[in-house]
């Protein structure tokens, strides 16, 4: 598994795609949070608060994570190297996990530089350090769990087609439905109980819950379950491919 993981990480950083994706994430966040006038601009917001980062980042990652994962198995199938990997003395499960952790690490690397924003809002407050650290930590944890789920979804969709563009579009679509689809669907119900139930089926409600600084085991179980489900589906899909 480590050999696959190492190979994935090297493939990202020996080509421009890894640097491009990390740079694009940081550029978009930086522009919306610090430069462009609007609802997301921290300076216009008037409070030393990083909430806007965690409103924006999940939407950016809906597109960036499938862009990272789209080649995971699609490219292997297209160039014919997947068959070689499947006949090697390594289980498909270890192959899937190696691909998953490689792509997930790139997502984490993209997020790490945003920690400088924590220092920035600490300095921007009327009294230095006047911000809710618990909420910031909770939001970062929520973002990591959300990225893990997105990555598992993207890895799965990359097994569905040899065409990377199709894998990317399917990944974006499923990530969007996973994050916001149930939230939108809940607006069709007038009953408070049904509305809450439908909302909790989507990722946004659980992400927002963790973002309040409370690590509820139900939210963690939800994200871990979604991640494991799509990794399992990826494993099963690989078993169905001709060797």
Produce one character per residue of 102-140: b if its CB has 16 or more CB atoms within 10 Å, e if not. Answer: bbbebbebbbeebeebeeebbeeeeeeeebeeebbebbb
With a cut of 70, say whether residue 45 has pLDDT above it.
no
Query: What are the pLDDT digits (tens) for 178-208?
Result: 999 988 888 887 777 788 888 889 999 999 8
What are the Cα distances from residue 51, in Å, to 75, 117, 208, 219?
37, 11, 10, 19
Copy the structure tokens of residue 164.
Answer: 């990377």
Query: What are the pLDDT digits (tens) for 109-162?
Result: 999 998 888 887 776 655 555 566 778 888 899 999 999 999 999 999 999 998
pLDDT at 9: 83
pLDDT at 197: 85
- For the chain, what is the mean pLDDT? 85
Q: If you count DSSP H runs as helices and E runs as strands, how many of each does the chain have, helices first? A: 14, 0
Copy the structure tokens of residue 101.
Answer: 């952790």
9, 81 in Cβ contact below 8 A?
Answer: no
């Amino acid at each position: 598994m480590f050999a696959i993981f190492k190979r994935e990480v090297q493939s990202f950083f020996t080509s421009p795609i890894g640097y491009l994706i990390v740079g694009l994430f940081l550029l978009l966040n930086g522009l919306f949070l610090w430069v462009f006038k609007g609802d997301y601009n921290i300076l216009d917001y008037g409070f030393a608060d990083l909430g806007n980062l965690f409103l924006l980042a999940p939407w950016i990652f809906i597109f960036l994570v499938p862009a990272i994962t789209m080649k995971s198995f699609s490219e292997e199938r297209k160039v014919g190297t997947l068959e070689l990997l499947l006949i090697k003395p390594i289980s498909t499960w270890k192959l899937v996990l190696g691909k998953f952790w490689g792509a997930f690490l790139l997502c984490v690397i993209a997020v790490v530089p945003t920690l400088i924003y924590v220092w920035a809002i600490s300095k921007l407050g009327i009294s230095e350090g006047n911000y809710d650290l618990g909420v910031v930590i909770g939001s970062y944890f929520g973002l990591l769990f959300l990225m893990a789920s997105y990555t598992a979804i993207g890895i799965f969709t990359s097994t569905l087609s040899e065409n990377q563009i199709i894998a990317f579009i399917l990944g974006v679509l499923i990530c969007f439905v996973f994050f916001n689809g149930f939230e939108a669907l809940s607006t069709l119900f007038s009953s408070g109980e049904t509305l809450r139930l439908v909302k909790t089926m989507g990722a946004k409600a659980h992400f927002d819950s963790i973002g309040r600084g409370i690590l509820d085991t139900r939210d963690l179980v939800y994200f871990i379950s979604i991640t494991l489900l799509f990794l399992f589906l990826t494993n099963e899909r690989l078993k169905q491919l001709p060797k």
